Structure 1
Amino acid sequence: MLFVCCFFYLPSVVRYGLSMFVCVKLDDPQALPYPWAAAAPGSFFLLDLNEECWAPGGWHRVWALAYGVPLLVLLCGVLPLGLAGVIWANRRHLHAPWFRRRYGWVVRVYRPERAAWEAVVVCQTIMMCMCAVFGMALGVYHQTLLMAAVCAGFAVLLMVFEPHEHRQLQHLLVYAFGALFIMLMGALSFLTSFNDIEPPYEYSITMGAVVLIANLMYIAWAGYVLKQAVEVQWPAHRIMSKVLQLLSKVAPVRLARSLASHRQ
């Protein structure tokens, strides 16, 4: 139950812990044309803009060191390493009933030699949370570029190690990262912060169509994989479909016969 709660609330707790180290600039003392008008130069705590970052005697330093550091050590270090350690220590009992009851939801979809891959998924979640949290300080361009790099990196890891037991699930995740990567790179081309060149209308339509097609292809593939999974795991579904097909053929015949007998 503890592991389930950790994974369910992991993104929210990690984002809150990382927010303890996010500082933003309110006023730049060197900004033109009125450099003397900067009212609040320096960096300020994102969660409370009244607190200056790392100021002596300020609350930001207390919260960051007393709450942020232990939380990040626990979630970003102890959790993935502990998860990998538990699975590695029980690698000979992966198919034991007691192990399946406790940790089956962690290892069920992975191959036995890649049973600890869920620790990599935890690191993936943490890195995506970092992209979301530090985006305020990095800016839109670098945030999008960092997220695209994370997606490409984990897609390569999936293709190299192939951790999933079912290849269709493996392909589904790779295609998901691919669709997200295409969308992020397309979004980068619309940012005009560095070149001040507005993309032409034809380019906008073409890029929008490419992103839309990539997402539709992924949704179609996901639906196909889900349909096959339902047919494989639930034989009753196939039996029910055959029964419905039989009823659809028999019912009109019976109805026609009953109408004919009623007329006679």
Structure 2
Amino acid sequence: MSIHATALVDADAVIADDVEIGPWCTVGPGVTLEAGVRLVSHVVIPRDTTVGTGTVIHPFAVIGGDPQHNGYKGERVTLKIGARNTIREHSTFNRGTPQGSGETVIGSDNLFMTGAHVGHDCIVGSNITFANNATLGGHAEIGDRVFLGGLSAVHQFGRVGQGAIVGGLAAVTRDVIPYGSAWGNHARLRGLNLIGLKRKGYDKAAVRRLLAAYRDLFECKDQPFAQRIDAAAETYADLPEIVEIIAFIRRDTRRPLCLPED
């Protein structure tokens, strides 16, 4: 391993053999840095945090800080980060709370641009992009392959389903369906994330069928929404994406659903 002479590494930290810890970094007790982790410089990991294989953390990030919660009294709570994440300058990730799950969990292969924030008890998937200063309130859940635009913010307990895109500056106070496209302040559902679907390899016929299902769910207002959900569940039972969207809608949640404007 390579540890710069100015770095402070607690004796209780577990450091893999090939980890690089740059100048003026602080690594506290209960921290585990897995193989290939690199702390560029001035990175602070206060305590009780696991950083997965190959993750690179850039200067002035504070990863695994105390939860920003008035009820936190110093209990042992954790942050777990998966493999191959890129965490850019000034990002802040908080550990969990005893009032929540006690753990903040982040997946693998994510890009967190400058100033990204992950609040306490959040669950963040994999292959996600947080643009500059994208922010999660506590207990938020973000599915795989989500794109959060710059300066967007997801309300505490909010959910963004996998494959969705949230526009820049959007205040997300309502849950965003999988594969949805939400933007505006406050964010409203504007359709499906067509760019993301095309990048994922969906052909035109598949996209057209998903759009038809979207219209049946959200644009045909001759029936109550609950009846439209039941009808779509039957009509599009062979489409895994629509099955996922309907399951997302039906799940118990503390936040209302992000819908199109009336």
| TM-score scaled by length of structure 1 | 0.25
- Greater C-alpha radius of gyration: 1
Structure richer in strand, relative to its length? 2
Give the structure with the larger helix fraction: 1
Point out which structure has higher relative CO (alpha carbons under 8 A, 6+ apart). 1
